[in-house]
Amino acid sequence: MTLHTGGAAAAGTWKLGDLTVNRIGFGSMRLTGSAAFDLGTPSDRERSISVLRRAVELGVNHIDTAAFYFSSRRSANELINHALAPYPEDLVIATKVWPGRDPSGEWWWATPGQLRGQVEENVRQLGRDHLDLVNLRIPPSRRTESIAEHFGALADLRDAGLIRHLGVSNATPEHLAEAQSIAPVVCVQNAYGIGAPPEAEAVLRACGEQDVAFVPFFTIAGEGREAGAGTGDSPQVLSVARAHGATAAQVRLAWTLQQGAHVLVIPGTGDPDHLAQNVAAGALRLSADEMARLSSDDRRSEAGPELI
């Protein structure tokens, strides 16, 4: 059996503020190489450009990126600009700030005063006059600390017209509440998928209660994280995939989408075949029994600390 798709629209739509997007989006991190943070393995430029153009042809109108997504000879933002500009009117490009990388690839974290420079860097690279959506990517070391100063700086840039909408990433419910008290938050971008720890569910539920989009990353990658999809899919995932004639990745995406109408996914790939499979996952509907079986999967990511 082959899983058919009506394109990215098959999963339905959600609003990021006043911007309507299909719930199947695209993450650009892997366009630059085997891993976005590996300076030694640049991707095939023309293939990456063709993947971006094909994603838009398939109905993807929500692309996630960042200025720090680059390898030795590839920049995700530059690839997006070259492939898609002049941009379709309905295309929403989301980026993130607070982390940064210098030209040698070394990480640094912006002060509130440096966030404007990071925003302007994304504006220049993407060839825009403003950014549709900027997520404040919270450092792991700040998981229990206030983000008011940094988020307030982004709110000022929003008021100045450089940013249209704001979100938070790697956030707790407390971060969401704090940010909402400063300026409207249209999305939360956190790691989430089958086997996610209980604390991840609290953020998903808080977003649903506030009609805020929940945009998980690493939904497919699981243990692989930045390195890509792993090979350790559980028997439950594989059994459901066989029943639908689908891949394990498609099952992971479908399960995540069925967590709520406010849940969007942004799977990334540099492979055109995987792109088509990811978009097709929006048409996959899992039964209540399958959802329950997958939700009981107690596998947990064994990856090390997140870099960003």
So which residues are the catalytic ones?
69
Q: Would you place residue 171 in the very low, low, confident or very high pLDDT band (cuts 50, 70, 90)? A: very high
Q: What are phi and psi of 203, to 5 degrees?
A: -70, -45
The 3-state DSSP class for residue 183 equals coil
pTM over 0.75: yes
* Mean pLDDT, rounded, of the chain: 91
Q: Specify the DSSP class assigned to residue 136.
A: E
Q: What burial class does residue 288 get, using C-beta atoms within 10 Å of its C-beta: 0-12 exposed, 13-18 middle, 19+ buried?
A: exposed
Give the whole-angstrom CA distance, residue 122 versus residue 266.
Answer: 19
Give the whole-angstrom CA distance, residue 176 versus residue 183.
Answer: 10
pLDDT top residue among 82 and 226: 82
pLDDT top residue among 72 and 117: 117
Task: Tell me which CATH homologous superfamily contains domain 20-295.
Answer: NADP-dependent oxidoreductase domain (3.20.20.100)
Q: Return the minimum-mean-pLDDT range out of 51-55, 66-70, 282-286, 304-308.
A: 304-308
List pLDDT tens digits, range 39-51.
666 789 999 999 9
Percent pLDDT > 70 in the chain is 88
Q: Return the minimum-mean-pLDDT range out of 104-113, 150-159, 220-229, 261-270.
A: 220-229
In the chain, DSSP assigns E strands to 13-16, 19-22, 26-27, 62-64, 92-97, 99-101, 107-109, 131-137, 163-169, 185-189, 213-214
Q: What are phi and psi of 108, to 5 degrees?
A: -150, 160
Residue 70 has pLDDT above 60, yes or no: yes
pLDDT of residue 229: 42
pLDDT of residue 238: 97
Q: Averaged over 89-97, what is the pLDDT? A: 98
Strands 131-137 and 107-109 come out as: unpaired
